[in-house]
Amino acid sequence: MAASTRTLQIQKKDIARLDRILALLASDQPGERAAAALKAIAFLKKHELTWLDVLEGRAVPRGNVRPHRLDSSDDDLKAAESRLRQMRAHNDALERQIKRLKTTIETLQEPK
């Protein structure tokens, strides 16, 4: 089978592990990011994968499960957008509260 059409069967727990490793690439800690990158490369070597295999969805869980494709109508995307709107509204409310508290503090600090 040609490299571009092959499907690689790996265990679901291994896919979950790679997901956790890749999540660490967003860490604020440079050392943690570097360690995650090294672990991701080691994972690929252990499973005889390439990044292209992963990106094109050829590394699939055992059991004939089709890889998940993310598109603009995906429920996960809608949920993330909803959560983002909620967080923005919460942030706006907090900014208004801070403004009121600053005004109150200024009022209390005025000489009588």
Domain boundaries, the chain: 1-69, 71-112
What string of pLDDT tens digits covers the 112 residues of the chain?
Answer: 344 455 566 777 888 888 889 898 988 888 999 999 999 999 989 888 888 888 877 776 655 445 555 555 567 788 888 889 999 999 999 999 999 999 999 999 988 7
Residues 62/67/68/69 CA torsion (nearest 10 deg)? 180
pTM beyond cutoff 0.95: no
CA distances 40 to 15, 27, 35, 44, Å, are 11, 14, 9, 6
CATH number attached to the domain at 1-69:
1.10.287
**Buried b vs exposed e over 45-58: b needs ≥16 C-beta within 10 Å?**
eebebeeebbeeeb
